[in-house]
Amino acid sequence: MKIIVAGCGKIGKSIVESLVVENHEILIIDNKPEIVEEITNIYDVMGICGNCADSDIVQEANASECDLYLAVTDSDELNMLSCFIAKRMGAKDTIARIRAPEYNDDSLAFMKDNLEISMPINPERLAARELFNILKFPHALKIETFVRRTMEITEVRLRDDSVLDGVKLMDIRERFKAQVLVCCVQRGEDVFIPAGDFVLRKGDRIGVTAPHEEMQRFFRATGFLQKQAKSVIILGGSRIAYYLAEMLIEIGVSVKIIDKDEKICEELGDALPQAVVIYGDGSEQELLLEEGIKDADAFIALTGSDETNILVSMFAMMNNVKKVISKVNRDEIAPMAARLGLDCIVSPKKMVSDVVLSYARALENSKGSNVETLYKLMDGNVEALEFNVREDASIINKPLKDLEFLKNTLIIGIVRGRKTITPSGNTVIQAGDRVVVITTNHGLGDISDILAK
């Protein structure tokens, strides 16, 4: 497909990086020549230096012929205007980055309709939603849901004293009386889509899938289940902090936000009267201790500095905070943070690039099925995809045992109507099914792509 990305900061660059490996024809627009030069030198893309709200620049980029136009600059208004211009020139689909809290659901719906924006994306709200889900289930490192929330994949790490240490996957259902599937395992630098004879070891990071009730039964039996966080300290008064605090307050969680910018504290205090907002330097140990970090159920570091987030999160861990989460955007730092023991890391830019990649695949695909949702698991080494199976798909009406699948590819669930099916060798996929696949092979765009050629 022909894709234009307007605005190549952290978010835009991450999107370009994800789309390039899918072999799309990409052109970037940015008003900083050094950024255009850097990205066009690193990736096989074309570039134009200029203002993406300038109709001449958008026309020069051939927006009239593009399949997908993305505006992801730091300005919401610029993004909306740029998408509107591109759409008027003939761009088939447009995506705008819209971040400000004042653009609530009602105004977003209005702008989406009247500016003909195909999809607005808000990186901060996406990150806040993921954090919110994790705080509701603190045992999890990451939670992804599929097929209208009827299926989920939850990532956890096996502690040194885990009852799963030394257990074969084929024995889990009988031993713990729960219909779950361990669908992926990360052990050190290696990632596996494991077979039944695979033996789990302490330190493994595992992805578990099942209907919600079975998942809860499994985590209760294995000692993972923890109570929902009731008191949360957030370091950094960012937009993510605002969205997250709003979600947490709504379910009765006590929230304390610390920021060293007095103006930000005043704004948050006015916007979130039920939260406690502290003006001070949250990297100072004395302040954190004074504000009760030892008694908090969860600590979340959301400052603009990856290094600060990592260091203060480690201090929270030293003070036995049950759940510690850090925002880390730089790809080169995230693995270091994990090696230091910080399991729970969020990256807004990666979330956006995953959403865009899923949308692009769905647009491109016109064969037997569409990619409805796509998520990256195990630090991006594994993809989980949801396909909507059409009548002309080559995979339907054949028992799974008679099909040969790509290596490291597994069908982990089928939803037929309201029924969730855990597949076996005799299971037959039907038209209209929603099929969830997990794989280490990147770039799958159609359900038929999971078959060995």
Residue 213 domain boundaries: 138-221
The answer on 379 and 305 residing in a single domain is no
Residue 343 burial by CB count (10 A; 0-12/13-18/19+): exposed, middle or buried?
Answer: middle
The answer on 198 and 150 residing in a single domain is yes
Q: Mean pLDDT: which of 97-106, 325-334, 367-376 is highest?
A: 325-334
pLDDT in tens, 115-159: 889 999 998 998 999 899 889 888 888 888 877 777 789 999 998
pLDDT at residue 264, rounded to an integer:
96
- Which three-class secondary structure state does DSSP give residue 58? helix
From 92, 121, 150, the end of a domain falls on 121
CATH number for the domain spanning 296: value is 3.40.50.720
Token pair 């960012």: residue:
238
The answer on 174 and 249 residing in a single domain is no
Higher per-residue confidence, 373 vs 328: 328
Mean pLDDT value across residues 169-180: 91
The answer on 6 and 115 residing in a single domain is yes
Q: Are 302 and 256 in contact, with CB atoms under 8 Å apart? A: no
State how far the Cα of 43 lies from the Cα of 373, in Å rounded to an integer. Answer: 26
> Quick one: tokens of 75?
């300005």
Residue 351 lies in a domain: no
CATH number for the domain spanning 438: value is 3.30.70.1450
Q: How many domains is the chain partitioned into structurally?
A: 4
Mean pLDDT value across residues 96-118: 81
pLDDT at 78 over 90: yes
State how far the Cα of 323 lies from the Cα of 356, in Å rounded to an integer. Answer: 30
Of the candidates 360, 408, 419, the one whose C-alpha atom is nearest the C-alpha of residue 384 is 408
Residue 296 lies in a domain: yes
The answer on 235 and 166 residing in a single domain is no
Tell me which DSSP letter residue 147 carries: T
Identify the weakest region by mean pLDDT among 146-150, 288-292, 443-447: 146-150
Q: Are 15 and 9 in contact, with CB atoms under 8 Å apart? A: no
pLDDT in tens, 392-412: 888 999 999 999 999 999 999
Q: Are 31 and 57 in contact, with CB atoms under 8 Å apart? A: no
From 346, 371, 401, the end of a domain falls on 346
Identify the weakest region by mean pLDDT among 20-24, 81-85, 100-104, 345-349: 100-104
pLDDT at residue 27, rounded to an integer:
97
Residue 133 lies in a domain: no
The answer on 336 and 245 residing in a single domain is yes
pLDDT at residue 105, rounded to an integer:
66
Higher per-residue confidence, 214 vs 104: 214
Pairing of strands 369-377, 231-235: unpaired
β partners of residue 119: 95
pLDDT in tens, 292-340: 999 999 999 999 999 999 999 999 999 999 999 999 988 888 888 877 8
Q: What is the DSSP string of 422-438?
A: ---TT-B--TT-EEEEE
Pairing of strands 119-121, 93-97: parallel
Residue 356 lies in a domain: no
The answer on 114 and 20 residing in a single domain is yes
Residue 51 lies in a domain: yes
The answer on 384 and 341 residing in a single domain is no
Residue 129 lies in a domain: no
State how far the Cα of 37 lies from the Cα of 248, in Å rounded to an integer. Answer: 43
Pairing of strands 254-259, 231-235: parallel
State how far the Cα of 52 lies from the Cα of 63, in Å rounded to an integer. Answer: 11
Distances, alpha carbon 98 to alpha carbons 68, 184, 243, 375, in Å: 17, 34, 14, 21
The answer on 306 and 197 residing in a single domain is no
Q: Are 313 and 336 in contact, with CB atoms under 8 Å apart? A: no
Question: Which backbone phi and psi does 140 adopt, to 5 degrees?
Answer: -90, 145
Residue 68 lies in a domain: yes
Which helix (H) or strand (E) covers residue 421, if one does?
strand 419-421
From 121, 154, 188, the end of a domain falls on 121
Identify the weakest region by mean pLDDT among 51-65, 295-309, 437-451: 437-451
The answer on 371 and 339 residing in a single domain is no
Tell me which DSSP letter residue 440 carries: S
The answer on 324 and 378 residing in a single domain is no
pLDDT at residue 150, rounded to an integer:
74
> Quick one: tokens of 270?
């006015």
Distances, alpha carbon 102 to alpha carbons 76, 119, 265, 390, in Å: 11, 18, 17, 40
Amino acid at 435: V
State how far the Cα of 47 lies from the Cα of 4, in Å rounded to an integer. Answer: 9
Mean pLDDT value across residues 217-236: 90
State how far the Cα of 72 lies from the Cα of 439, in Å rounded to an integer. Answer: 29
State how far the Cα of 180 lies from the Cα of 88, in Å rounded to an integer. Answer: 49
The answer on 269 and 342 residing in a single domain is yes
Residue 77 lies in a domain: yes
Of the candidates 90, 93, 81, the one whose C-alpha atom is nearest the C-alpha of residue 59 is 90
State how far the Cα of 210 lies from the Cα of 147, in Å rounded to an integer. Answer: 12
pLDDT at residue 367, rounded to an integer:
42
